[in-house]
């Protein structure tokens, strides 16, 4: 073990305020910390030069693995027992011996999205597991950004970050106050706005897609809100031959991104 790795003097680290999800949802406040745990979320954050890292806790085994796989950690881990990390997190959190406190990533402006981008917009999807799974899929399909609202959205920390499995470091968020206004802005910028709903007007496969697209996903059960639907150029559905005609929103996102993104070159510059 390298000599400069240290153990914390205190027996238990303090839980940062940013580790708690805001009572009414929404992204972390400017001064809050993002809490990341688990191998993929922490390792990807440590590799990300855009992420400001504040504090890293690791078990002996996890610290050795970090040293083997990441050449320059740029942050000295505090070596702790697994129980010290467990006490900082929610029950049943799988941390794999890693815990990181970091600054939230800076959101992206809608105006900064390059032409030819594939974007996701989330209409009040509040479950952090679902949003995290969507982020992970978005990273796999080179989505340029995810548009969420200030309210009725889970914070990009904790459970969401774990479910995203490192995807937060690769897909920026554009946080807006009003999703309908944001969709109108994207429409004026030349984006085709494709709503996805089980009661959509046409099959997704029949949509003739434009180079710049935003796929709009609604909350499970409620679907797209009225104004959100009205701001879409087309509302499409996923036709399925089986007895169950609806999917979890993160699964629907994966299928839609594959259908719209296969064969599309990745857009860089964000």
pLDDT in tens, 134-148: 999 999 999 999 999
Percent share of the chain, pLDDT over 90: 70
CA distance 22 to 43: 25
Residues 105, 110, 111, CA angle at the centre, nearest 5°?
Answer: 120
Tokens 């059960």 locate to 221
Q: Residue 8: pLDDT band by 50, 70, 90 thresholds?
A: very low
CA distance 167 to 125: 17
pLDDT at 109: 94
pLDDT at 135: 97
Query: By C-alpha distance, which of 261, 212, 45 is closest to 114?
Result: 212
Question: Cβ distance 233 to 121 under 8 Å?
Answer: no
Query: By C-alpha distance, which of 48, 43, 37, 50 is closest to 69?
Result: 43
Q: Which domains does the chain have, with CATH numbers?
A: 17-102 (3.30.1330), 110-261 (3.40.1280.10)
Mean pLDDT score, 198-209: 88
pLDDT at 244: 83
CA dihedral defined by 9, 14, 16, 20, rounded to 10 degrees?
140
Mean pLDDT score, 159-176: 96
Please tell me the pTM assigned to this model: 0.83
pLDDT at 262: 55
10 Å CB burial of residue 190 (0-12, 13-18, 19+) is exposed
pLDDT at 32: 80
pLDDT in tens, 93-151: 999 999 999 999 999 999 999 989 999 999 999 999 999 999 999 999 999 999 999 99
pLDDT at 211: 92
Of residues 31 and 28, the one with the higher pLDDT is: 31
Of residues 40 and 262, the one with the higher pLDDT is: 40
CA distance 231 to 210: 16
């Amino acid at each position: 073990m390298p000599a400069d790795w240290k153990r914390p003097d205190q027996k238990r680290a303090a839980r940062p305020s940013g580790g708690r999800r805001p009572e009414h949802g929404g992204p972390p406040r400017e001064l809050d910390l993002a809490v990341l745990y688990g191998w993929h979320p922490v390792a990807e954050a440590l590799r990300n030069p855009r992420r400001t890292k504040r504090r890293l806790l690791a078990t002996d085994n996890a610290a050795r693995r970090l040293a083997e796989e990441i050449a320059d950690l740029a942050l000295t881990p505090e070596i702790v027992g697994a129980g010290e990390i467990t006490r900082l997190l929610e029950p049943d959190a799988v941390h794999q011996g890693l815990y990181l406190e970091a600054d939230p990533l800076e959101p992206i402006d809608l105006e900064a999205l390059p032409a030819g981008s594939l974007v996701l917009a989330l209409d009040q999807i509040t479950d952090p597991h679902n949003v995290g799974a969507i982020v992970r899929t978005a990273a796999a399909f080179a989505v340029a950004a995810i548009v969420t609202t200030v309210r009725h959205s889970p914070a990009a920390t904790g459970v969401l970050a774990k479910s995203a499995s490192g995807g937060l470091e690769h897909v920026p968020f554009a946080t807006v106050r009003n999703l309908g206004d944001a969709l109108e802005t994207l429409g004026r910028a030349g984006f085709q706005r494709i709503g996805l709903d089980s009661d959509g007007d046409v099959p997704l496969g029949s949509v003739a897609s434009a180079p710049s697209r935003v796929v709009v996903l609604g909350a499970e059960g409620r679907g797209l809100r009225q104004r959100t639907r009205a701001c879409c150029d087309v509302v499409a559905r996923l036709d399925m031959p089986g007895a169950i005609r609806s999917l979890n929103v993160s699964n629907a996102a994966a299928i839609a991104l594959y259908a719209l993104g296969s064969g599309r070159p990745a857009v860089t510059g964000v």
